[in-house]
A and B are shown apart, each in its own frame.
Chain A
Amino acid sequence: MAREGLLIERPLLRMTQEQVERIHQASMEILMDPGLICFNKDAADIFQENGAEVTTLPDYNHPAWLIKIPEQMVLKALDSAPKTIKLGARNPENALIMNGEESRVYYITGSETNIWLDVDFPTYVKKADSSKEIQVPEFIPRRGTVADLCQSAHVCEHLDTLDGYIRTVNIQDKDITEENKDVNKYFASLNNITKHVMAGLTSLDQLDNVVNMAEIITGGKDQLKENPIISFITCLVKSPLQFVEDTTDTFIEICKRGLPVVVSSAPQAGSTAPIKEAGIIAQINSEVLAGITLGQLVNPGTPVLYGSVPVRARMDTLNDSYGCVETSQYNIDCVQLARYYKIPNYSTSGVCDPKIPGQQSSIERLFSDILVTLSGPQYLHCTYGLLDCNSVFCLPQAVLDDAHFKMIKFFLRQPIIDEEELADVLKQIRTVSGTPQKIFISYIRKVMRSGQLSEAYPFDGDGEGDNVFKLACEKTQALLEKPVDHIDEATTSTIFKEIPGLLPRLNIYQ
């Protein structure tokens, strides 16, 4: 069993097939000239042993190599990379099965923001008429904690459209250190959601502890292979075209263990990639392919996702602008490229530039969510609650996003236009046109109760007021009161015995 996701029958294309092939060729050229600068010795050795051209670069203040990857090596890697990848879940019915050739979209959260937004509703009184009061949301930013991460996972468990969980907020409690952060973020997530859990690692030393924890939950090594309830994100290539030392180590170790991993590249058009579309796309494609190639050289057949987070620079700050139109264009281009290679795609939409929820946030996130969804990426991340160019997470915003995905999913239902349906409606038209009132209302009732009509907007205000945010906050509270299926007591006790560094307060049985 797996989650259904959203099947896009006719994906939106931005590039023609010829343009896709041109970008592929340009990427192949980039991989040979200029090639990639590699700050990781093991990766340089692996490429060299397998026949890539590797030369030492003396001019860096860090050991560095220039790597030129021939097309044949890339094609071989693409051949061995799995076309279908399963991401498991504590509740096996929540597994995600992604096929690189099938445009079935799963909606996933993101992405370790430092700031968590609390919301309050102070009352304002009109100066000219003190009998008039309104409540306006006030947003209070603060650093995220492990309790927030638990809360967010809990609510995400109950959001119907949400298919998988990437840690939403960076845990910054005083007792969280580099050494214990990974085990705590994975445990806090896994214990509060039964959907798939993905994260980036802070410290490679923690990889085995995290994997052991997942094995305890699933019942062993083979069970984890069969049902990989966790997976990893690695940004091993820093744009432009540089293999980073430590993340590449992490990536290699994950590949050796055969667990699913995203090769994510996040160039910024204008600063770390050309400002022109053809340039950033050719570059990101070569960066992701270089990572995929390394993964397949380390362990042929290991599951890797084509991870694309291309964005345009904001002209006023040079921060990543997720809200601008080009960012959606780039993402759709990458969806097409990943499909061309038949590798499941980790894509991006939904993040907005403003710091708080409101009109700009709604417009930007819905714009990219609709368009990128239509292009049919398999794993669409960052789609819930993210603001301020990916620096802020707001839980009621995630609840709002869920409602919007319900609308998108409804929209993408296939039209019912067949003999039977047409016979039925023609009969209605003939009947009604023969009546004095000429009105179809009596036919609504059955349809309305059959689930064929879209629901009313769940945060519809009454009267003139816009109560969307207030209602979203109430819904968030209601979802928090619903129970979640935590890890059972015996397993929890084993985890706390065997995995070092877990915070005792995360043990709900004590």
Chain B
Amino acid sequence: MSEDIISKLKENVIQGRKTEDDEGIEEDLTGPGVIELTQQALDANIPANQIIMDGLTSGMEVVGEKFSTKEYYIPDMLASADAVGAAMDLLKPHLEKSGVAGKGKFAIVTVKGDIHDIGKNIVAILLKGAGYDVYDLGIDIPTEKIVEYVKNEKPDYLGLSALLTTTMVVMGDVIEALKSAGIRDSVKVLVGGAAVSEEYAKEIGADFYCLDGFDAVKKLDALQAA
């Protein structure tokens, strides 16, 4: 029974079916999706880390392989990551109870003056799917609000997105404002967006420049491992 739930869970992760209503990829895969199956697994008293390892992570590994061989594209990857992210929300309280530490809290935001958010949303989904606790603060958010958030909510990571050369400079303002508030060292700052470059990230004193969401997961996971 429990093996059955886990293998179904894995299959649904591979198909990126978040809920039973999701149309997925193949016609004949119907029934409960990742959220419902995760709940079923919890109800069947399967330990949270087993659900993660054998269902979610092992499904994501297959997705990763399919992606690298170009059988899967970004929409597939995002659907799977999104489903896994939603399952992680369900599992979080159980993990906390059993003392398993998460990968950390990640706040992501498009800075003041900028409304582009396709890239930011992708990064948020991928990070969540990779096990980070993601908080999306939205678009066009004033620097003071971001600083206040960091002060009060103490995220481990702050991701800033900007697509315009005029708003790119606001990312520098945010870093300066964090310094003035005396909380620059409390958070690692990641920056991204088409206008931003590695060089620019250095110039404004960001901790990481990320080309895309995968790059962000790679850099943060490396930091976790260190």
Contacts and interface: CB of A to CB of B under 8 A. Distances in A.
Contacts of A271: 118
B108 to A, nearest CB: 14
B166 A268 contact: no
A202 B166 contact: yes
Contact of B75 (A202, A244, A315): A315
Interface in B160-196: 165-166, 194-195
A170 interface: yes
Given A178-B166, A238-B115, A244-B115, A270 B195 contact: no
A318 B122 contact: yes
Contacts of A61: 138
A150 to B, nearest CB: 18
Contacts of A246: 113
Interface residues of A, number: 23
Contacts of A17: none
Nearest to B67: A316
B101 interface: no
B138 A316 contact: no
Contacts of B74: 315-318
A172 B165 contact: yes
B115 A181 contact: no
Nearest to B116: A238
B194 A391 contact: yes
A101 interface: no
A272 interface: yes
A114 B138 contact: no
Nearest to A61: B138
A245 interface: yes
A270 B166 contact: no
Contact of B140 (A170, A245, A268, A391): A245
Given A114-B194, A181-B166, A272 B118 contact: yes
Given A61-B138, A271-B118, A316 B195 contact: no
A482 to B, nearest CB: 31
B159 to A, nearest CB: 17
A238 B138 CA distance: 14
A353 to B, nearest CB: 14
A170 B166 CA distance: 10
A280 to B, nearest CB: 15
Interface string B210-222: 0010000000000
B140 A270 contact: no
Contacts of A268: 118
Residue with the greatest number of chain A CB neighbours at <10 A, chosen from B73, B119, B165, B195: B165
Interface string A47-84: 00000000000000110000000000000000000000
Interface in A309-323: 313, 315-318
Interface in A6-20: none
Interface string A150-193: 00000000000000000000101000001001000000000000
A489 to B, nearest CB: 32
B75 A270 contact: yes
Nearest to B167: A178
Interface string B118-140: 11001000000000000000101
A291 B42 CA distance: 49
Given A270-B75, A272-B118, 17 more contacts: A61-B138, A62-B138, A62-B140, A114-B194, A143-B165, A172-B165, A178-B166, A181-B166, A271-B118, A313-B75, A315-B73, A315-B75, A316-B73, A317-B212, A318-B74, A318-B75, A318-B122
13 contacts: A62-B140, A172-B165, A178-B166, A202-B166, A245-B140, A271-B118, A313-B75, A315-B74, A316-B73, A316-B74, A317-B212, A318-B118, A318-B119
Interface of B: 73-75, 113, 115, 118-119, 122, 138, 140, 165-166, 194-195, 212
Interface of A: 61-62, 114, 143, 170, 172, 178, 181, 202, 238, 244-246, 268, 270-272, 313, 315-318, 391
